[in-house]
């Protein structure tokens, strides 16, 4: 799709480095997919060296003149980074994506303001921020998703559309679980040494000891220590009350083994833990080598490849004609087999962009998210938040009747989304080839932890497993160097794949419709996380420490205030920061006032600062509230909102999350019986 597009990047005066990185990150993805890159010479262009390995053509005419030039018969979109107070809309006649960010915002203040820092580290110590550009590049993923929506409206309907996003709000959207948990009275926060899934030392590094409730017997058998057979440890509650006691023999066992030995054992035992890998480890990782996930760019840099693969393609279908609709994906149907966070979250964003999403479960195997925290009276708030704007039907795909009904639905669908364990679809009889027989322009999108094939790709993983194996954990630590994972409270790769996954699925599905082809799309959550640290690979390959290679600027601090809360501080001018601290020092000064007062005072003197927010504070935070990071479903429940917003045809929450099988009869009547009658 993007091979038909030109992208002009504009950087308004005063734009923060994080906003520039975010735009360049999105442009880099688009160019890797075939777009051509331009940068405006009439604006204040930043130093782009090192931000992305793409080649720009400089434009000396005005952006409006560039956008209006149709001589090349290509579609044109403007990507713009700006500061608050500027118009969101360049022109109603120009397709554009605008990202807004305060000039003083940095990785530290963005992680603090979005509440993400509060989830990382030890509660007895200050919140942590990874030593990488995760905030900027997560915002970049959101820009790419917005760009895909704008491009989709242009390509499908010939219509100009504009998207706007507030960078801090887009990052806050990632932290939706903390906000929803707060409605249940839960305060999700960093757990440190008492975390359910701790990081423990091993012979040559660290291991993320991740396991599920059903894995405990295998853990006991693997460690083979009588202490773990204590009745106190038999239940989840018992282990939570005696965390340090049962972890003692586990730590002792891990300490005598190498990362390679531990990885083999965990895979063999089907326990979802994993060694913490550094960027140097990733360069020679067997699975990444198999997937060709690390490449040499045209400029000679070592960098990650895009996080998706085309597993299969079938040609011979008839192109579909698009009829104009209000949203970029209007008129497209998604069969949603996704569960928990990643699969269901991707489909939710497709629904927001206009697709008709039909969630498919069975009475015997509903989405497990329905039964999570808060599900004492109906479905859990987490399920409701991740499945609003969808219809829901109940089909037992293990029966011939259920399978045949699904294939009939597939005949008129555009996309099938699934994130089952590898092999489940094949055992059900829903292979790509069989779907193509039903619909020669179908897109099968498989979202998995580590991709569809390769050494140990079938190993069960959770989001925190992928934090360990993608470099995230190794880049998140205190001065002691002990890596940190987020645990169930965040699972960062589960959230970022929702952005990239929705965008690449939408783009590929549009291609399938207009070209008359079918594709099987392989999206790796681990690869999505690795792609976010691509700017650090070149430095690491030449011997520079990954932490030293992080593109941070200025002095940085996390200040503890009188109310026990923290304020993240970032400023390019160390002299101003030191002068402000006076004789007592900045830390002593901050300890005498509340966090909100501390941040306000620092901002008033030109020093960037943000309170490390809790989950309950996120929906009412100014940036998130203005941008719609959270919304309410028709029944009044607080739910996940949008990472960006469309200006001409705004996205809205129009439908509650479906009850199990709520729309079975109406969907089968409209999509199967009527289609068969036609």
Tens digits of residue pLDDT in 281-299: 999 999 999 999 999 888 7
For residues 629-652, give the mean pLDDT.
97
Instruction: Name the pLDDT band for 41 (thresholds 50, 70, 90).
Output: confident
Mean pLDDT for the chain overall: 92
Query: What are the residue ranges spanned by the domains of the chain?
Result: 2-104, 192-283, 308-533+654-677
Q: What is the pLDDT of residue 194?
A: 81
pLDDT of 624: 98
Q: For residue 342, give both structure tokens.
A: 């990643």
Backbone angles phi and psi of 399, in degrees to 5: -105, 155
- 623: Cβ–Cβ under 8 A, 6 or more apart, which residues? 113, 166, 168, 169, 172, 629
What are the strands, taking DSSP E only, across 553-623?
555-560, 566-571, 608-611
> At a CB cut-off of 8 Å and minimum separation 6, what does 667 contact?
358, 391, 393, 409
**Spatial separation of the C-alpha atoms in residues 654 and 664, rounded to whole Å:** 19
pLDDT given at position 48: 53
- The CATH-assigned architecture of domain 192-283 is 2-Layer Sandwich (3.30)
Whole-Å CA distances, 480 to 99, 118, 247, 281: 36, 19, 20, 20
Distances (CA, A) of 205 to 192, 277, 278: 18, 9, 10
pLDDT at 438 over 70: yes
Q: How far apart are the C-alpha atoms of 481 and 547, rounded to whole Å?
A: 11
Structure tokens at 225: 């220590």
Any bridge partners for residue 645, and if so which? 164
Residues in Cβ contact with 445 at an 8 Å cutoff, skipping those fewer than 6 apart: 346, 415, 416, 417, 418, 501, 505, 508, 521, 523
Question: Cβ neighbours of residue 53 under 8 Å, at least 6 residues apart?
Answer: 28, 297, 298, 299, 301, 303
**Residues above pLDDT 70, as percent of the chain:** 93
The residue behind tokens 């423990």 is 200
- In this prediction, residue 432 has a pLDDT band, given cuts at 50, 70 and 90, of very high
Question: Which pLDDT score is estimated for 519?
Answer: 98
Residue 424: which residues within 8 A CB-CB, separation 6 or more?
Answer: 418
d(CA 403, CA 417): 16
Return the pLDDT at 301.
Answer: 84
Angle 438-407-383 (CA atoms, 0-180°, nearest 5)?
130
pTM of the predicted model over 0.85 = yes
Instruction: Identify the band that residue 79 occupies on the pLDDT scale cut at 50, 70 and 90.
Output: very high
Phi and psi angles of residue 8, each rounded to the nearest 5 degrees, phi first? -105, 120
- CA angle at 291 for the pair 289 and 297, rounded to the nearest 5°: 75
CA distances from residue 118 to 42, 76, 611 in whole angstroms, order as listed: 41, 40, 10
What would the pLDDT profile of 112-135 be if each residue is shown by its tens digit?
999 999 999 998 899 999 999 999
- The pLDDT tens digits for 323-345 are 889 999 999 999 999 999 999 99
Which range has the worst mean pLDDT, 199-203, 504-508, 586-590, 611-615?
A: 586-590
Q: Which residues of 201-212 are buried (b: 16+ CB within 10 A; e: fewer)?
A: ebeebbbbbbbe
pLDDT tier at 473 (50, 70, 90 boundaries)?
very high
Least confident of 7-11, 43-47, 256-260: 43-47
CATH number for the domain formed by residue range(s) 308-533+654-677: 3.40.50.10540
Distance CA 591, CA 560 (A): 6
Give the chain's end-to-end CA distance (angstroms, integer).
31
Give the helix/strand (H/E) hosting 110: helix 107-113
Q: Give the CA distances from residue 342 to residues 251, 525, 558, 676, in Å, rounded to whole numbers and listed in that order.
A: 31, 9, 31, 33
**pLDDT (0 to 100) of residue 468:** 97
Residue 515: Cβ within 10 Å count? 16
The DSSP code for 306 is P
Question: Which of 189-203, 321-335, 560-574 has maximum average pLDDT?
Answer: 321-335
Question: Can you tell me the mean pLDDT for 584-601?
Answer: 91
Q: Are 550 and 589 in contact (CB under 8 A)?
A: no
Pairing outcome for strands 517-524 and 391-394: unpaired
Task: Please choose, from the candidates 138, 26, 1, 74, the residue with its C-alpha nearest in 3D space to the C-alpha of residue 443.
Answer: 1
- The residue that leads in pLDDT, 435 or 375, is 435
Is it the case that residue 550 has pLDDT exceeding 50? no
Place of tokens 């895909």: 148
- Confidence at residue 319, expressed as pLDDT on a 0 to 100 scale: 96
Place of tokens 């590898």: 422
More confident residue, 373 or 209: 209
Q: At what angle do helices 134-157 and 167-174 cross, to 10 degrees?
A: 100
Per residue in 50-70, pLDDT tens? Answer: 556 677 888 988 999 999 998
Q: What is the strand order of the sheet 645-646 is part of?
A: 57-59, 36-40, 5-11, 75-82, 96-100, 162-166, 645-646
In sequence order, which residues have a C-beta less than 8 Å from that of residue 673 and are 6 or more positions away? none
DSSP H stretches of helix in 114-234? 134-157, 167-174, 176-182, 216-223
Lowest average pLDDT, out of 148-157, 176-185, 537-546, goes to 537-546
């Amino acid at each position: 799709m993007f091979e038909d597009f030109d992208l002009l990047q504009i950087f308004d005066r005063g734009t923060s480095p994080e906003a520039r990185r975010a735009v360049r990150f999105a442009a880099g993805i688009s160019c890797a997919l075939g777009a051509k890159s331009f940068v405006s010479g009439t604006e204040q262009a930043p130093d782009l060296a090192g931000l992305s390995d793409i080649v720009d053509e400089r434009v000396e005419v005005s952006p409006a003149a560039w956008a209006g030039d149709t001589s090349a018969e290509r579609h044109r979109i403007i990507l713009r980074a700006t500061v608050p107070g500027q118009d969101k809309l360049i022109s109603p006649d120009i397709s554009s994506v605008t990202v807004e960010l305060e000039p003083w915002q940095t990785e530290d203040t963005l992680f603090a303001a979005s509440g993400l820092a509060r989830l990382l580290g030890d509660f007895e110590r200050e919140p942590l921020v990874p030593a990488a550009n995760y905030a900027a590049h997560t915002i970049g993923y959101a820009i790419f998703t917005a760009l895909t929506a704008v491009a989709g409206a242009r390509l499908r309907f010939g219509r100009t559309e504009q998207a706007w996003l507030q960078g801090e709000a887009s990052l806050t959207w990632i932290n939706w679980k903390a906000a929803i948990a707060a409605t249940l009275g839960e305060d999700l926060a960093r757990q440190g040494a008492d975390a359910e899934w701790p990081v423990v030392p091993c012979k040559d590094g660290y291991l993320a000891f991740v396991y599920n409730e059903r894995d405990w017997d295998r853990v006991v058998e693997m460690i083979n220590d009588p202490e773990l057979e204590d009745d106190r440890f038999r239940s989840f509650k018992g282990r939570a009350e005696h965390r340090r006691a049962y972890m003692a023999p586990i730590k002792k066992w891990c300490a005598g083994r190498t990362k390679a030995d531990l990885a083999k054992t965990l895979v063999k035992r089907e326990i979802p833990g994993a060694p913490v890998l550094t960027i140097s480890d990733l360069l020679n990782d067997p699975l990444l080598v198999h997937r060709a996930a690390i490449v040499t760019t045209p400029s000679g840099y070592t960098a990650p490849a895009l996080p998706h693969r085309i597993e299969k393609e079938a040609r011979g279908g008839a192109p579909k004609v698009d009829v104009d609709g209000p949203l970029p994906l209007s008129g497209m149907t998604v069969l949603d087999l996704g569960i928990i966070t990643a699969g269901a979250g991707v489909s939710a964003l497709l629904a927001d962009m206009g697709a008709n999403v039909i969630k498919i479960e069975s009475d015997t195997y509903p989405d497990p998210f329905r039964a999570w925290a808060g599900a004492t009276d109906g479905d859990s708030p987490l399920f409701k938040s991740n499945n609003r704007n969808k219809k829901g039907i109940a089909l037992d795909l293990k029966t011939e009747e259920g399978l045949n009904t699904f294939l009939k639905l597939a005949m008129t669908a555009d996309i099938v989304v699934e994130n089952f364990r590898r092999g489940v679809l094949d055992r059900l009889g829903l292979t790509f080839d069989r779907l193509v027989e039903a619909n020669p322009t179908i897109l099968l999108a498989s979202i998995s932890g580590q991709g569809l094939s390769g050494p140990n790709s079938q190993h069960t993983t959770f989001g925190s497993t992928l934090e360990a194996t993608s470099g995230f954990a190794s880049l998140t630590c205190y001065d002691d160097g002990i890596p940190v994972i987020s645990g169930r409270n965040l699972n960062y790769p589960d959230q970022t794949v929702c952005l990239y996954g929705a965008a690449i699925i939408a783009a590929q599905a549009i291609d399938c419709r207009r070209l008359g082809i079918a594709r099987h799309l392989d999206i790796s959550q681990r690869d999505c996380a690795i792609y976010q640290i691509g700017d650090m690979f070149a430095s690491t390959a030449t011997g520079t420490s990954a932490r030293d290679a992080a593109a941070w600027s200025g002095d940085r601090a996390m200040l503890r205030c009188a109310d026990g809360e923290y304020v993240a501080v970032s400023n390019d001018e160390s002299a101003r920061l030191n002068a402000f601290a006076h004789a007592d020092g900045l830390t002593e000064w901050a300890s005498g006032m509340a966090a909100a007062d501390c941040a306000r005072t620092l901002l008033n003197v030109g020093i960037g600062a943000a309170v490390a927010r809790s989950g309950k504070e996120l929906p009412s935070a100014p940036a998130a509230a203005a941008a719609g990071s959270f919304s309410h479903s028709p029944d009044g429940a607080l739910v996940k909102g949008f990472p960006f917003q469309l200006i001409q045809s705004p996205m809205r929450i129009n439908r509650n999350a479906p009850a199990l099988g709520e729309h079975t009869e109406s969907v089968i009547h409209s999509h199967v019986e009527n289609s068969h009658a036609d």
